[in-house]
Amino acid sequence: MNKIIAVALPKGGVGKTSTAVNLAASLAVYEKRTLLIDADPSNTCAPALGMPFSELTGGLFDMLTNSRPYDKILHKTSLDYLDFIPSDTKILDSEERLGQVVHNYFRLREIARNKFNIYDYVIIDCPPYLGGITKLVFNAVDSVIIPIKTAQFSLLAMSKLLESLSETKLKTNKNINIEGILLSMLENNTLAAQLTEERLYPKYGKYVFKTFIPKSTSVAESTYYGKPVVLQNARSIGGQAYLELAREVIVRNKECPVKELIKESAISKTSDEKPREIALSQNRPNPFSHSTKIRFEIPYRMKIKLTVLNLFMEEIEILVENRMEAGEYEITWIPKDLANGVYYYRFDAGGLFKMNKMILAR
Ligand code: ATP
Ligand code: MG
């Protein structure tokens, strides 16, 4: 199997390069033959891998123009299973040089099909814009990973990207799909994170990777050491998160090819999945326990609030107020004052708002 994945979002500083480098290195740690290609003329993957520009012998520009042999273009890295193609051998003028070759929209696709089939995974780091070289990349790849930083502008950029992917799928590469949306710098417990998640999950929840990358010094610092975080410190929060992401990508591709997972039209459609309440299992009075159980099912990670109200609709207890992973849950409520009577519970999640009656009696 050979899978070509772009890491893209038309917005700067969201963790594209960090994701491309660290995911590629983590796949290689799992002994998947991996090729990392830097398609961003700013050429930042090379320093992230600890490769000085003076030692680069060829790059993407040479590959697209057929101007250097492959053994000069492909670079070995400190990981046996990871090869690397930089964007160019120099930073100066590379934007202009790559600009000269982007009119041949299918060149990269041809090369990818003929030359890259020895790899299990090809990961391509994209620049923070959609035109130019990104078009060539989108025509060549099977799927796209979308890194999202928890902020409003990331979501705006994502809408733009989804439009562009829809257009690509319609016109030039019908095989392109979303590999997954990655929270690439998650700062838990901030309002921005909460707002992003609240907007992201109801609409795009099923595309979001279970793994998220926390904002962590280990990821930021590893670039200064010129090592992927898994090599710098595999046990760090960032190292563990990227290894987990690689594992999720491998499992997804083995068990359920993304091409089948996402139907063609789904790419621009919104998900209408909502949490489902399974049952209120003790509507009838239970003479022994004087408790009641509430069961519900969550289709993807989302914020849930479950509140108990009295007969006068006053809140008397909050049972859950938390972000919860996908799954089935059962929550037992035991009233504190052990009073019999009628109560209600309010279930509030992902746009679903539900009230139910509970009768407790002994
Ligand atoms: P550009 O569009 O400019 O190419 P990018 O989307 O490739 O940017 P990166 O270069 O990967 O983004 O990351 C931007 C900055 O954020 C870098 O300084 C990087 O070290 C830092 N960073 C990335 N991921 C994390 C993380 N999980 N925790 C902390 N810092 C991070
Ligand atoms: Mg980058």
pLDDT for residue 191:
76
Q: For residue 264, name the pLDDT band (cuts at 50, 70, 90).
A: very low
With a cut of 60, say whether residue 284 has pLDDT above it.
Answer: no
* Pocket flag, ligand 1, residue 94 (CB < 6 Å): no
With a cut of 50, say whether residue 262 has pLDDT above it.
Answer: no
* Pocket flag, ligand 1, residue 16 (CB < 6 Å): yes
pLDDT for residue 278:
56
With a cut of 80, say whether residue 309 has pLDDT above it.
Answer: yes
Nearest alpha carbon, ligand 1 atom 9: 15
Q: Which residues contact 314 (CB under 8 A, 6 or more apart)?
A: none
pLDDT for residue 269:
37
* Pocket flag, ligand 1, residue 285 (CB < 6 Å): no
* HEC per residue, the chain: CCEEEEECCCCCCCCHHHHHHHHHHHHHHCCCCEEEEECCCCCCHHHHCCCCHHHCCCCHHHHHHCCCCHHHHCEECCCCCEEEECCCCCCCCHHHHHHCCCCCCCHHHHHHHHHCCCCCEEEEECCCCCCCHHHHHHHHCCEEEEEECCCHHHHHHHHHHHHHHHHHHHHCCCCCEEEEEEECCECCCCHHHHHHHHHHHHHHHHHECCCCCECCHHHHHHHHHCCCHHHHCCCCHHHHHHHHHHHHHHHHHHHCCHHHHCCHHHHCCCCCCCCEEEEECCCCCCCCCCCEEEEEEECCCEEEEEEEECCCCCEEEEEEEEEECCEEEEEEECCCCCCCEEEEEEEEECCEEEEEEEEECC
Q: For residue 337, name the pLDDT band (cuts at 50, 70, 90).
A: low
Angle at 118 between CA 112 and CA 124, to 5 degrees: 45
53 CA → ligand 2 middle, Å? 16
pLDDT for residue 62:
92
pLDDT for residue 290:
64
With a cut of 90, say whether residue 289 has pLDDT above it.
Answer: no
| CA separation for the pair 336, 338 (Å, rounded) | 6
Q: For residue 198, name the pLDDT band (cuts at 50, 70, 90).
A: confident
| CA separation for the pair 361, 343 (Å, rounded) | 11
287 CA → ligand 2 middle, Å? 63
Q: What ligand has the least distance to the C-alpha of 245?
A: 1
With a cut of 70, say whether residue 283 has pLDDT above it.
Answer: no
- The per-residue pLDDT for range 110-140, each reduced to its tens digit, is 999 888 989 999 999 999 999 889 999 999 9
The atom number, within ligand 1, closest to the CA of 9 reads 6
Q: For residue 276, name the pLDDT band (cuts at 50, 70, 90).
A: low
Pick from 18, 37, 225, 233 the residue to mutate for probing ligand 1's pocket: most ligand atoms within 8 Å of its CB: 18
The atom number, within ligand 1, closest to the CA of 222 reads 20
- The per-residue pLDDT for range 145-159, each reduced to its tens digit, is 999 987 767 888 998
Lowest-pLDDT choice from 12-21, 129-138, 254-263, 309-318: 254-263
User: Which tops the pLDDT comparison, 309 or 92?
Assistant: 309
pLDDT for residue 287:
52
Strand partners, 293: 332
Q: What ligand has the least distance to the C-alpha of 129?
A: 1
pLDDT cut 70: percent of the chain above it: 85
- The per-residue pLDDT for range 77-94, each reduced to its tens digit, is 999 999 999 999 877 777
C-alpha distance from residue 339 to each of 237, 247, 347 (Å): 47, 50, 22
* Pocket flag, ligand 1, residue 23 (CB < 6 Å): no
Please state the pTM of the whole predicted model. 0.75
95 CA → ligand 2 middle, Å? 14
| CA separation for the pair 342, 182 (Å, rounded) | 44
pLDDT for residue 313:
73
Q: Domains, the chain, ranges and CATH? A: 3-253 (3.40.50.300), 292-360 (2.60.40.10)
Can you tell me the mean pLDDT for 31-50? 94
Q: What ligand has the least distance to the C-alpha of 145?
A: 1
pLDDT for residue 263:
38
With a cut of 50, say whether residue 186 has pLDDT above it.
Answer: yes
Q: Are 302 and 350 in contact (CB under 8 A)?
A: yes
219 CA → ligand 2 middle, Å? 14
